Structure 1
Amino acid sequence: MSYHSPYEIIAQGAKAGRYRMSLPGWNLLLRGGMAGAYMGMGGVLMIIVSSGVAATLGIGIAQFLMGLVFPLGLILIVLTGAELFTGDAMLAPFAAFSFNTGILSVLRIWILSYLGNIIGAFGFAGLITFGVLLQPGSEGYAAGSYAVSMVAFAAERCSYPGAAGILSCFLKALAAGWLLNLAVLLGICADDAIGKIAGIWFPSMALASTGMEHAITNACLIPAGLFSAPYLTPLQVAEVGPLAGNLAWSVFLLNNLLPVTLGNLVGGLVFSGILLWIAFQKEIRS
């Protein structure tokens, strides 16, 4: 299993960022759509495997199980070459610092990959809602137990109270952007698939197990909860609890997706991007 030094990893990340910047817009959107769906796959698996676990084994075990399977999405993205906005938050600045690509090229890849991610995440939310979470019957759809878990997760993510809550959401997202990009860097560390998977898995596991906020994952899971909520029975709504009243599209967009996107961007750009570049710029340029 080969290993690359930190400054070699950053140099490879810069090359990867420059390559992504050279892609046509439609290709960035397409790769972004795939990445959004892949993050949704890991997120949905996380919800399903942890359903009902907290009541029997405790919240710690439930969170650990979530962390065990969540890395699926990022592993798929790194190994298939899909385009994730939160990874571009770090790789695009690396390319700009190394090759003087300019701020417009950085903004272009950020905007196109983000739009693609949102489209892919929303699309997979619809697919998983009406394919797995809701059960078809003679009178239409009915919500299953997994739908209740999804609605509960979405309601919790839409329940940050006031300015202090939004700040907490932003800080969780900042930490998530930092961890996710460290996972991307560790994926670059190795040349073989097993090494890449191992490098990606640990930071991604920490992200999910500690309840941090990732915009693209939320862009799948919260809409899935919103799609499922109208099909819940009164007993299922009571099972979700009082937070169910906070679940709304406007709350999702303004109180979660917006601050989480900004937090992920700052975490990737500053803590995984700029600080690492400053730390190793002498070795990179030598």
Structure 2
Amino acid sequence: MAFHPPVAIIAKAGDSGKYKVGLPAWNMLLRGFLAGAFIAMGGALATVCSTNIAASAAAIKDVPGLAFGVSSAGFAQLILGATFPVGLIIIVLTGAELFTGDAMLAPVAAFVHKVSWMQVINLWVWVYIGNFIGSIVWAYIMANGPFVSFGMDATTGATTATITAFGTRAIAIAVAKTSYVGMMGMWSAFLKAVACNWLVNLAILLGICADDLIGKFFGIWFPIMAFVSSGFEHSVANMYFIPAGILTAGLTNTATTVNWVNMWTSNLIVVTIGNIVGGMFFVGVLYWVAFRKEIAALK
């Protein structure tokens, strides 16, 4: 499988960022919408596939021949992580725009090609809005699809909505993601967001590294699996996970602590900042500093 050396990867990342900041706003928004939906597709798949893992592990642990000692909590995280990467794989291979990836690619373009920081911020704003809209659309589809079962009350003839096991899992994820309280809670969310986008942008670089489909697939899959399984925080994924829980709870009148306000105050604001730091500094800045002389020699 053909692959590029590190200096070429960083140079290509700068080229990609330059191209992205030059897109018209409507195109940034459209591609951002697609990427938000694609990340949500991965999140929805991970939610469904990780549902009731703990119960399943408990049910089979004493069955002869199946007592292989699976840790239900760790195994559930592994399944969550193993299925989630489909979203970023689709994004990289189809050219959609993801805010967390642009948190690294656009600044590298500013370093390599001297594009303006206003262009970088303009890209971030439009892509972020597009990501949010796409995520909400897929959350609505899931909340009204697999997460809720609709029936009819035999007495009144009214439509009834019953939460499914997948919907219960979706609400639990949303509640967990808005459970950060106090300064230490916010610090924890921030650190998880930094670590998340550090890994996400390493996945982006590995995707750039390979020229063939299989190389890109595995280059992206492993770092994304690592961040999701580790329980880190991704702002665009949370634009799906939290609304999916809110919408599902609303349809089924399920009491929950998650709402549209604490989605932002207890997660998205601090996680977005952490994602920017993780992508821009720990990948973009550090790799630019490490290879800037070699990149200059390529020109």
How many Å separate the matches in 1 of 2:250 and 2:294? Answer: 56
**Given the alignment of the two structures, is residue 284 of structure 1 paired with residue 295 of structure 2, yes or no?**
yes
Q: Distance in 2 between matches of 1:211 and 1:130?
A: 26
In the alignment, structure 1 residue 28 sits paired with structure 2 residue 28: yes
- Aligned match of 1:94 in 79, 91, 108? 108
1:196 corresponds to which of 210, 216, 222: 216
- The Cα shift of 1:160 comes to 1.1
Which stretch of structure 1 is more off in the superposition, 130-139 or 219-228? Answer: 130-139
Q: Secondary structure at the match of 1:249?
A: coil
> What one-letter code is carried by the residue in structure 2 that aligns with 1:274?
V
Query: What letter is aligned with 2:108?
Result: F
How far apart in 2 are the matches of 1:224 and 1:249? 11
Quick check: which has more Rg, 1 or 2?
Answer: 2
Q: Which SS does the other structure have where 1:35 is aligned?
A: helix
Q: How far apart are the structure 1 equivalents of 2:121 and 2:290?
A: 24
CA contact (8 A) 1:151 1:228 kept: yes
Query: Normalising by the residue count of structure 1, what TM-score does the alignment of the two structures yield?
Result: 0.94
Name the count of aligned residue pairs.
Answer: 277
Q: Is the aligned partner of 1:259 residue 2:273?
A: no
Which residues of structure 2 form unaligned runs of 5+? 58-71, 153-158
Instruction: Identify the residue that residue 37 of structure 2 maps to in structure 1.
Output: 37
Percent identity between the aligned chains?
A: 47
Cα offset for 1:222? 0.6
Structure 1 position 271 matched with structure 2 position 291: no
How many angstroms does 1:141 deviate by?
Answer: 2.2
- Matching of residue 221 in structure 1 with residue 232 in structure 2: no
Asked if structure 2 preserves the Cα contact closer than 8 Å seen for 1:179 and 1:207, the reply is: yes
| Amino acid in the other structure paired with 2:28 | L
Runs (4+) off by over 6 Å: none
Q: Distance in 2 between matches of 1:270 and 1:55?
A: 41
In 2, Cα distance between equivalents of 1:151 and 1:132:
13
**What does residue 240 of structure 1 align with?**
none
Q: In the alignment, which residue of structure 1 is the partner of 2:62? A: none
Structure 1 unmatched runs, 5+? 238-243
Question: Equivalent residues in 2 for 1:152-163 (5 A)?
Answer: 152-163=172-183
Aligned to 2:126: 112
> 2:181, 2:266 within 8 Å by CA — same for their partners in 1?
no
RMSD: 1.2
Query: Does the 8 A contact of 1:31 with 1:116 survive in 2?
Result: yes
State the shift of 1:231 in Å. Answer: 4.1
Structure with bigger helix share is 1
Secondary structure of 1:142 counterpart: strand
The answer to whether structure 1 residue 184 and structure 2 residue 204 are counterparts is yes
- Matched residue type, 2:274: G
Preserved contact between residue 98 and residue 127 of structure 2 (Cα < 8 Å): yes
1:232 Cα deviation from its structure 2 partner: 4.3
Residues 143 and 244 of structure 2 are in contact (CA less than 8 Å); yes or no, is this contact kept in structure 1? yes
> CA–CA distance in 2 between the matches of 1:37 and 1:84?
10
The answer to whether residue 227 in structure 2 is matched with residue 207 in structure 1 is yes
